[in-house]
A and B are shown apart, each in its own frame.
Chain A
Amino acid sequence: MAKIMTAAEAVSRFVFDGAIIGMGGQTIGRSAMSIYHEIIRQKKKDLTLVGCNLSIPMDLLVGAGLVRRTECGTGNLERFGTTFCWRKAIEQGRLENEDYSHLAMVTRFLAGEMGLPFMPIQSLLGSDILHKKAASTGKKFEVVNNPWNPGEKVVLLPALNPDVSIIHVQKSDEQGNLIIEGFLTHEPEMIRASKTVIASCEEIIPSEEIRKYPERTTIPYVYVRAIVLQPWGAHPTSTYRYYQYDSEHIWEYQRCAREGGTAFREYLEKYIHSCQSFDEYSEKVGGLKKYNYLRQEMMKMV
């Protein structure tokens, strides 16, 4: 089964209206932007977005009106401020969010990846993360006694199995064996918990290289359905060892998201709807010159 395909093909085959999407990356690091642009172009809607830190791509999809619900530890861009579309949509009652902590989200993925219905955790106790929930959330948790140490409390959280996880990685072979370099955040658990996985990558490497050093494989091919070769595919977020985040473009996005309305619609039009592909977008945000600059910035630190 051929797995290498375009972003357009991957999204049309594996992302559907109403899907629960597991979002990889963290804040301004390694978000699979080319895939999310394609979701916006194809107008996949009523999406539920899940992950730990939901950042620019979540905010873009919310701003484009395609999201019904988010479940996460946080929505924010740290030094670049909050995720404005998300914040406004929640404050205006257009979006439902369910809050967890980061450890809680990864614990739910951990249950999911092991085929278990729930998993214990020992944070959250005494907090409103347990005691308050969104209107459509069913049973959010159960507190039980440790059977081996009665009196010790344990929180049980339900497994979370996304319909599709969307990630950006450094390397894949054509079979879909993935190598992720740098931080891994919640991705290994989330990827293995997902029903299917779309991975964009900076490079396709020979399978021979994977098979020669299999201990370097982060995610074996069995979880992965679609590989999209897209160098610079995480822009404006960073990809460890490849390029730094693009502060200039992130601030431009933040200005548009904060202002909303026409400014945000113009951003979508200029950078997504009017582009046939992510390569066209890459040219608009500075092309090779910008890419080389961000690459040099990254190389100072690795």
Chain B
Amino acid sequence: MSVDFSLEELMIIESARHIRDGEMVFVGTGIPMVAAMYAQKTHAPNICFVVETGPISPQVLPVPISVSDPKAMYRAAKLGTLREVLGCLLQRGMVDLGFLGGAQIDQFGNINSTVLGDYQHPKVRFPGSGGANDIASLAKRILVITPHEKRRFPEHCSYLTSPGYIDGPNGREKAGLKMTRPELTVVTDLTVMSIDKTRGKLQVVKLMPGITLEQVRENTGFKVEAASAVITVELPSAKELNILRREVDPEREYLGKGKD
């Protein structure tokens, strides 16, 4: 039986599949929060959410629009401090998976969320790191969710806000980062890319249903290789879509184009 869904919805569901039950997951707001909430309502009921304002293990209500939204604090085990979550939990090495977004992601999985152009005289100013640099530096695994547009995937970021593999397989080690070779995955509405640890570069590992490798390459600013066996992202079930649409984001705060 075929079910109607948008690639945006599948992008969220596919991202959620990277979360394992029982893990400590660091999330900001937006699509990453939606994905983590979906995981909690499906295969990963025992995840521990951590939010930078201080909430530890909240039972997040649909859908917070800010890290200071009380919906992100609901029935938490503790409302702590930023130092406690970013310093203690994350920097100590207790966070399993960190979610990130960003304006630009380059071939090494580095993220720019700071400026386009010269730092002192930027053409475009973005919000900046927030906790993103800390998460990219210190989480055991990194998951980036972003719409797939060519301008978002340049060969090199014009400013490196949050490290991926920096400039190659040993980039993080040379820089002195403790997490030298984390799993780093980028989920978009066209594809799933992950870091090939021998080259330190992103490669296509999965394609969204109906999307070809050529389409991914046309929409990517750097030359992207494909893994030896590229598979198709598993289709969502009617039940999964129902949970996403009715329980996770019923007000369609973030699910813009999804069909009902």
Of residues 141 through 166 on chain B, the ones whose CB sits less than 8 Å from some CB of chain A are 159-163, 166
- Please tell me if the beta carbons of B127 and A106 are within 8 angstroms of each other in the complex: no
Chain A: number of interface residues, binned into ranges: 35 or more
Binary flags per residue of B74-87, CB closer than 8 Å to A gives 1, else 0: 10000111110011
Known pairs A122-B138, A128-B161, A183-B53; A102 contacts B131 (CB<8 A): yes
Residue of A nearest to B130 (CB): A74
Of residues 169 through 208 on chain A, the ones whose CB sits less than 8 Å from some CB of chain B are 182-189
State A301–B137 Cα separation when bound (angstroms).
33
A98 CB to closest chain B CB (Å) equals 10
Interface-lining segment among B59-67, B184-192, B200-208 = B59-67
For B119, the chain A residues whose CB sits under 8 A away are 128, 132-133
State A245–B71 Cα separation when bound (angstroms).
12
Known pairs A184-B79, A184-B80, A185-B54; A102 contacts B125 (CB<8 A): no
- Please tell me if the beta carbons of B68 and A79 are within 8 angstroms of each other in the complex: no
- Please tell me if the beta carbons of B91 and A103 are within 8 angstroms of each other in the complex: yes
A258 CB to closest chain B CB (Å) equals 14
A135 CB to closest chain B CB (Å) equals 6
For B159, the chain A residues whose CB sits under 8 A away are 128, 132
For A80, the chain B residues whose CB sits under 8 A away are 65
B6 at the interface (CB under 8 A from A): no
- Please tell me if the beta carbons of B73 and A240 are within 8 angstroms of each other in the complex: yes
B57 CB to closest chain A CB (Å) equals 13
For B66, the chain A residues whose CB sits under 8 A away are 27-29, 77-79, 245
Known pairs A184-B79, A189-B83; A103 contacts B134 (CB<8 A): yes
For A99, the chain B residues whose CB sits under 8 A away are 114, 128-129
B35 CB to closest chain A CB (Å) equals 16
For A134, the chain B residues whose CB sits under 8 A away are 120
For B121, the chain A residues whose CB sits under 8 A away are 93
A285 at the interface (CB under 8 A from B): no
Interface-lining segment among B15-23, B172-180, B227-235, B236-244 = B172-180
A190 CB to closest chain B CB (Å) equals 10
Binary flags per residue of A103-132, CB closer than 8 Å to B gives 1, else 0: 110110010000000000111111111011
- Please tell me if the beta carbons of A182 and B73 are within 8 angstroms of each other in the complex: yes
Contacting residue for B55 out of A90, A97, A183, CB 8 A: A183
State A106–B125 Cα separation when bound (angstroms).
23
- Please tell me if the beta carbons of B178 and A126 are within 8 angstroms of each other in the complex: no
Question: Which interface residue of B51, B55, B67 has the most chain A CB atoms within 10 A?
Answer: B67
B106 at the interface (CB under 8 A from A): no
- Please tell me if the beta carbons of B133 and A188 are within 8 angstroms of each other in the complex: no
